[in-house]
């Protein structure tokens, strides 16, 4: 009895650790992505579902750290001035390229 309970507890905790590793994007980052996606594609229930699917797919492919790095570079490229020129002139770095690949896969699966 104790052995079965211990095995079940270990299995449950291992499953929870795995779920945390897969779902490491904070809710506000997911919501932000969905809001921007819906603003670009339409404010409908269908788009809510598709955009939510897209960020879930991206989260399965790309670690959150890489997502933040890519989003930062892409956001800085939109800023004017000399300081942002570094980001505009750096070409496509690996993290941005990986983000674009993840986003393309998400588009195929969700849209």
* Contact by Cβ (8 Å): 28, 67: no
> What is the rounded average pLDDT of the residues 4-24?
49
Helices (H), 1-111: 2-22, 27-41, 45-61, 64-77, 82-89, 94-110
Q: What is the pLDDT of residues 39-89, one digit of tens each?
A: 999 999 999 999 999 999 999 999 999 999 999 989 888 887 776 666 656
What φ, ψ does residue 66 adopt, rounded to 5°? -70, -35
Contact 78, 88 (CB under 8 A): no
């Amino acid at each position: 009895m104790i052995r079965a309970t211990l095995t079940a507890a270990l299995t449950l905790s291992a499953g929870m650790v795995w779920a945390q590793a897969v779902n490491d994007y904070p809710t506000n980052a997911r919501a932000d992505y969905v809001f921007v996606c819906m603003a670009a594609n339409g404010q409908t229930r269908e788009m809510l579902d598709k955009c939510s699917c897209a960020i879930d797919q991206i989260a399965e492919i790309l670690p959150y750290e890489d997502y933040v790095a890519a989003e930062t570079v892409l956001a800085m490229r939109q800023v004017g001035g000399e300081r942002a020129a570094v980001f505009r002139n750096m070409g496509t770095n690996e993290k941005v390229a990986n983000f674009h690949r993840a986003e393309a896969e998400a588009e195929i699966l969700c849209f």
